[in-house]
Structure 1
């Protein structure tokens, strides 16, 4: 019997961020592995013109729930949406809903956050830090709460090269910072943001570090655990291999490379690409919730959910010529590309400047394309370049994360739990995972038909032949106009042409004899 699954049966769960990438996987895994769970409350706010009910309805239509839909067609009846807003006082929850949560909830999973690296500081603070603080205030009043699990990030303390499973001092005093952004004008906050961030690369990691410190300071008597996943990628096994519904992180890079838009990546070939499959992070989260509630540790437990120190995978392995991305996207499983697919996805050393990268993308992408297509893709290229600049900090250096608590938790799981809630990244084969990831991005993000891969391979060969012909013609023109002005240059030119002709004649004759 699975101790973790049995623990959640009969429990009432509260989840924030349930409509997000990790949140959906958490809800699905919880309902599928513990079918007798009593209820799952999810805090949802209206967004992008959609009401709370519409957002929940769209979430439940998602393919991620197909497996649990087959096993339990009425699974949606256990999901109880509550209208809430983390940036508002008391979460903007009605008195009736608040009373229901205070008397029924047993476990809280706090997944909600803005993951945008360039989020304005005020909004990032309101959602990631102040929202966590307000949720803690609510949790301390819950009468039957057994555990509070907070999803942070492995890069919350990225200014340190060696990161232990502890909570570090904050980059600033949270309450003073909250007061500061409340009365300052938005333009002034934007101007002083670089000074406030200091060594932190963006507002996301900065506010996550603040949130961890707030949890330690205001936990009260709560049993709390913090999960720190690194770069969260497509699923390894569950609910489907390669499932992904977010363009964030490496997903957007893979897709842009497959479309031929991304030609180079600003990365250090020797740096660790610390990706973690989303189902690994969720399995660890659920196991940590069980352990925290049952064993009630005295201190806040922190779990570094990373792969670099256990099963490292490097940027150079992923993208250098003849690397995994090159093989999967351009040879094994090409898709329908816009423009001309790249020969390979190259990583570049860290000393390349942003201006050179900007020019390289444009020149390499646009050279073979017609002018109207260039204008249509300019906006995409600009957005891609901006994303690459934001990711540069993480793709050009490595960190050392300790994993003692993760190993300790694994030792407390029985044999069945180790199968159902597998977060042992030593079993992860990177070549298989990256292939599954790329195919999943094509299937779930781009809705491409996998049956069209043979036709895509043929199309890719045609595009390459066209590009080779274009480059050859361009070379000939440049030679004739700018170089072939001397007798020696003309002699070299005629020699090369005659040599090529002889080779072609030889291969044609050999082919005729074979047939």
Structure 2
């Protein structure tokens, strides 16, 4: 896209911040719908490039475009061939996913609009062939950059390569696209988590990306590993650090490309589309929910009063498509940032999450649970360590001992160690609050027609959290674990069996303590008889009082 195109139109009522990021001050007068195409009409006939299309958010984006913008011309998706699986096989497997059932009903030939492009984000030029570069340059109208490593503990070198260098190279490719109208970058609301108040602006980067990239080229892995804590500073991991750098890299192109940046918080299962509760991975809260439902997770260090800033994946995708439309139509001179969060609009707290997750899994239990669902959230380190020892490690040791004695491979301690690692990576986000400004998100909503607000709904004020968590938990059961809902009665029976085992174990434990400790000590027996007689007197008193009353 030429520079003349990107700078040919200004947006009325926009104010330039000192750092070059656009903020809304006055919304254009009049309704957009009366003079402009709807979102679906805008995407009609357009060719779209999507990175990260085989990932969680990418798949939802592809599905939503095909279903709600049926006249879209083509979706080009960058796909990395895997060992033993060709690019075409990966795309074919993705298309068979239940996520695409609604699209499949409307258009059985929908897959013909999907055009895979062989690519590798860690390679120069993204390993896209010259023929494909030419093809993309000639036809692409909108780019949605969803690809990134989301591993919190990714080595810095690899995180920079995937989140920063790959973004740079995609921007270089975008400059060769002659008909490009919008470049939408998916970031994270936690890119600037070293701040408590986060505005819809691009903050100065923690380090100049170019200098960091040049330094990492000659450093060996050991040196990089040693200096990583000093480099990331107040941020908790390499993910948030490199996403902040990527935002700055994208912003540098704002005078040559029409750019929008989406910052979702903790992305979870779908709220409404294509059906409630769809999820396909163990990442983020999904793995914790499943562990709690299986009775494996019994304690977690978090603040009950801290906001659990979950954002449904369909909300993020609806906002992303609306931002693509708005960016292309209005062509703001500088990048618009959208903080896609719920905490400041419709807050939900970790204590509430615990209650609703446990309640949901008791109503709709997972199959072959290890124990009955029951979790405890605490912000106290020592109490958390106590419960880890009593409720996690001790049962894991006993279960692994049982497996060894029965000739099976022990596995429970390994599972708990992985769980503890995952929880430790999330503790930073579950023990504190942030405040995000969301003016641009509200502005964008006001610019939609009533019909588009329904079709591309991202109004989180309408989100009913207990209902959402219920559907989320059921979604993990149906779509992640592939469990049949018709087997719920059997799962409930299994929970009753676990309850009876627990009662039996507690009874045996009490009898054991009595026989070993109390029965052999005169003082212990005296205390025991005193407690029992006291209880008997209280019962007799209440029984007598009840008789007199009657």
The interval holding the TM-score normalised by the smaller chain is over 0.9
Q: Matches of 1:228 and 1:477 in 2, distance apart?
A: 57
Q: Residue 339 of structure 2: SS of its match in structure 1?
A: strand
Write the distance in 2 (CA, Å) between the matches of 1:406 and 1:350: 36
3-state SS in 1 of match to 2:75: strand
**Alignment counterpart, residue 377 of structure 2, candidates 326, 347, 366:** 347
The unaligned stretches of length 5 or more in structure 1 are 505-515
After superposition, the C-alpha distances for 1:407-464 in whole angstroms (9 at most, x for unaligned) are: 0000000100000000000000000000000000000000111111122112211211
**Which one of the candidate residues 188, 196, 221 is aligned to 1:186?**
221
1:295: which partner in 2?
330
Structure 2 matches for 1:59-208, cutoff 5 A? 59-208=94-243
How many residues align? The count is 499
**What's the secondary structure of 2:345's corresponding residue?**
coil
Find the counterpart in structure 2 of residue 36 from structure 1.
71
Question: Following the alignment from structure 1 to structure 2, what is the Cα–Cα distance between the partners of residues 173 and 250?
Answer: 33
Who is 1:232 aligned against? 267
In the alignment, is the contact (CA less than 8 A) between 2:393 and 2:416 conserved in 1?
Answer: no
Does the Cα contact within 8 Å between 2:199 and 2:437 map onto a contact in 1?
A: yes
Cα drift, residue 473 of structure 1: 1.5
2:370 paired with 1:335: no
The DSSP-based 3-state class of the residue aligned with 1:270 is coil
* 1:100 Cα deviation after fit: 0.6
1:437 aligned to which of 454, 458, 472 = 472
Alignment of 1:449 onto 2:484: yes
Mapped partners of 2:391, 2:208: distance in 1: 41
TM-score (norm 2): 0.87
Q: Which moved more, 1:42-51 or 1:357-366?
A: 357-366
Return closer, same or farther for 1:396/1:80 CA change in 2, 3 Å cut-off.
Answer: same
Secondary structure of 1:81's counterpart equals strand
Return the offset for 1:496. Answer: 6.7
TM-score (norm 1): 0.93
CA distance in 2, matches of 1:213, 1:356: 43
Q: How far 1:503 sits from its partner (Å)?
A: 13
Q: Which runs of 5+ in 2 are unaligned?
A: 1-32, 405-409, 540-550
- 1:357 CA displacement: 6.0
Q: Secondary structure at the match of 1:15?
A: strand
Q: Does the alignment pair 1:13 with 2:44?
A: no
Distance in 2 of aligned mates of 1:365 and 1:402: 45
Worse-matched range after superposition: 251-260 or 451-460: 451-460
Asked if residue 372 in structure 1 is aligned to residue 407 in structure 2, the reply is no
Answer yes or no: is 1:362 the counterpart of 2:392. yes
User: Cα 1:503–1:468, aligned 2, differ >3 Å: closer, same or farther?
Assistant: farther
- After superposing the two structures, state which structure 1 stretch, 408-417 or 369-378, moved more: 369-378
Q: Give the secondary structure class of the aligned counterpart of 2:411.
A: helix
Query: CA shift at 1:384, angstroms?
Result: 0.5
Deviates more, 1:481-490 or 1:430-439: 481-490
CA deviations over 1:195-218 (Å, ceiling 9, x no partner): 111111011100000000111123
- Cα 1:417–1:350 change in 2 (3 A) is farther
What SS does structure 2 have at the residue aligned with 1:108?
Answer: strand
Query: 1:311: which partner in 2?
Result: 346
Shifted more, 303-312 versus 467-476: the winner is: 467-476
